[in-house]
Amino acid sequence: MIIGVPKEIKASEYRVALTPAGAAMLKAAGHEIVVQSGAGEGSSFTDEAYAAEGAEILPEASEVWARAEMIMKVKEPLPEEFGYFREGLLLFTYLHLAAAPELTKALVDKRVSGVAYETIQLANGSLPLLTPMSEVAGRMAVQVGSQFLEAFYGGRGILLGGVPGVPPAEVIILGGGIVGTNAARIALGMGASVVILERSAERMRYIDEVFGGRIRTLMSNGYNIASAVRKADLLIGAVLIPGARAPHLVTEEMVQTMKKGAVIVDVAVDQGGTIATIDRVTTHKDPVYEKHGVLHYAVANMPGAVPRTSTLALTNVTVPYALELAGIGLAGAVANNEPLRKGVNTYKGRVTHPQVADAVGMPYVALEQLLQNVPYEELN
């Protein structure tokens, strides 16, 4: 298979979908690799490094998209890339379609097979291709939150860990999954007072055990959220429902009760956000806006700010799946791989993930039906 790696064009996105080491693995398996010139520079991988592993360097994105049978990316395609779509193309990337109806429609209209990193799910419920970026984003959430709490940026002027005789900041985390626990680990290490709101009693027991009771846990419900939000110096949104839009757990009225100069970091913004006042996506160059006296950080590609770490962590987990997809094709790869099957969001002009279909208001068709060549009229 011909595998293409275009340069990411999202604002301040410096990651790349494949390292030279990954290219070498795919090349050794008999595949052809085409990489856009400069695609790896943001992650400190030169064109020469890819070429040394047998990849062909092409000057333009259009050439990469046209040559490739499978495109590997990091972030979802932007509208200026929709023109590259064509029937039969396999796209392997983060898609986050629940918050992107226009992209979903473009993939369906052009009959692109869209396999989303973030919905590949193991039997235990874990998301192996989302986990490393969730780890990065969770840890970064505290870093950026502590920065914007500084008065220079319009924050409350609070040091996260306080000092002897002065209390630490109150860090409230919505969600006790990978993002939430990684955020808690950094916040706790910096000396903050940390509360995690989580709806799973089993997960709260796990958090209590892992952190030795140093982090307070609360059942996630409207009453507890409203109470915790009022006390927050730093509020971190870390809720994920695979494939679906993130639920709005914090209302605008709750945000209005927050302290002046408090900071919100919503890691779930790429799935629509879990804070009602997150009404737009920001970028690394212009990361925050103020509403109701509270600073809102809504960058949808947080790991892109630390691309070397993020690219290495991401390709550690994506390359094995890429080898499978390229080796036997999508239909063959999903036949005996249930986790990968859950990653297929669009196929043969249909939405094949139920939560995505519900979020974007389009019909859902089970992938199994399409693979069995059920007649088109019977799919409606």
Of 253, 261, 257, 237, residue with least CA distance to 169 = 261
Tell me the C-alpha distance between 59 and 178, whole Å: 38
CB 145 within 8 A of CB 265: yes
For the domain spanning 131-305, the CATH number is 3.40.50.720
Active-site amino acid positions: 96, 270
In which band, very low, low, confident or very high, does the pLDDT at 241 lie, cut at 50, 70 and 90?
A: confident
Q: Which two tokens stand for residue 68?
A: 């490739």
Domains 2-116+306-372 and 131-305 share a fold: yes
Tell which CATH architecture fits domain 2-116+306-372.
3-Layer(aba) Sandwich (3.40)
Domain edges within the chain: 2-116+306-372, 131-305
pLDDT at position 279 over 90: no
What is the distance between the alpha carbons of residues 156 and 263, in angstroms, rounded to a whole number?
8
pLDDT at 237: 96
Average pLDDT, the chain: 94
Q: Over 70: is that where the pLDDT of 380 sits?
A: no
Annotated ligand binding at 373? The verdict is: no
Compute the distance between CA of residue 82 and CA of residue 145 in angstroms, rounded to an integer.
34
Residue 72 in marked binding region: no
Average pLDDT (218-229) is 97
Under 8 Å between Cβ of 255 and 277: yes
Mean pLDDT of 194-203: 97
With 0-12 / 13-18 / 19 or more C-beta atoms within 10 angstroms meaning exposed / middle / buried, residue 79 is exposed
pTM: 0.87
Residues 295-306: what's their mean pLDDT?
94
pLDDT computed for residue 89 by the predictor: 97
Query: 18-42 burial string, b = 16+ CB within 10 Å, else e?
Result: bbbebbbbbbeeebbbbbbbebbeb
pLDDT for the residue 375: 47
The CA distance from 156 to 203, in Å, is 32
Residue 120 has pLDDT above 60, yes or no: yes
What is the pLDDT confidence band of residue 379, given thresholds at 50, 70 and 90? very low
pLDDT at 377 over 80: no
Residue 250, helix vs strand vs coil? strand
Query: What's the average model confidence in pLDDT over 83-92?
Result: 97
Asked whether residue 208 is marked as a ligand-binding residue, the answer is no
CA distance 367 to 347: 7
**301 known ligand binder:** yes
What single DSSP character describes residue 324?
H
Tell me the range of 10-14, 22-26, 375-379 where mean pLDDT is highest.
22-26
